[in-house]
Amino acid sequence: MKKYLVMGAALCVALAFTSCKSQESAYKKAYEKAKAQEEQQTAQAPAQDQATVTPMVTKQADQTTVSNVDNTPVRSEDVTLISGTGLKKFSVVAGSFGLKANAEGFQGLLKQGGYDAQIVFNSSNNMYRVVSGTYDEKSQAVQSRDAIRGSKFNKNSDAWLLYKK
């Protein structure tokens, strides 16, 4: 009786191993078929026009400094003055906050750094803008923006220009 039991167990083990192998080969066949279809599609696809890259020609610069004030992007928003002396045409926004308390904290930091910081509110997107300076001329605003970008007050964000509607 023990012989039959051992023979039956051996037969079960043999069937188990052979059934796993057939599933593995089925996956391999499916993979090879998909790979062949992919290669066939790429071979049949029409050759796409490839852009020809011409080598870059270097030229001597005629001018060493270029003023790019006119191309400087300016964001136009309808804002309301919350804290400060008043806005002129162009303002430099050093920070934007969803909470008024955060804007007030940043305004205090800028004031300690010598900036005439003001807070304005944009009601369309519920954002408090902290303005580091406000100017009548765009060129002055660009210079101020570039200066605050390099300062310790603007490390994690990027100052930008605001035109008050």
Tens digit of pLDDT for each residue in 90-141?
Answer: 999 998 999 999 999 999 998 998 888 999 999 988 999 999 999 999 889 8
**Strand-strand pairing, 118-122 and 127-135:** antiparallel
Question: Once rounded to an integer, what is the mean pLDDT over residues 24-41?
Answer: 79
pTM tops 0.75: no
Candidate from 30-34, 48-52, 147-151 with smallest mean pLDDT: 48-52
Q: Cβ distance 107 to 68 under 8 Å?
A: no
Q: Which of 55-69, 101-115, 145-159 has the lowest mean pLDDT?
A: 55-69
Q: Does domain 74-164 have CATH number 3.30.70.1070?
A: yes
CB 90 within 8 A of CB 162: yes
Tokens of 31: 């993979």
Percent of the chain with pLDDT over 70: 76
Map out the domains of the chain as residue ranges.
74-164
- Read off the pLDDT of each residue in 149-161 and give the average, rounded to a whole number: 74
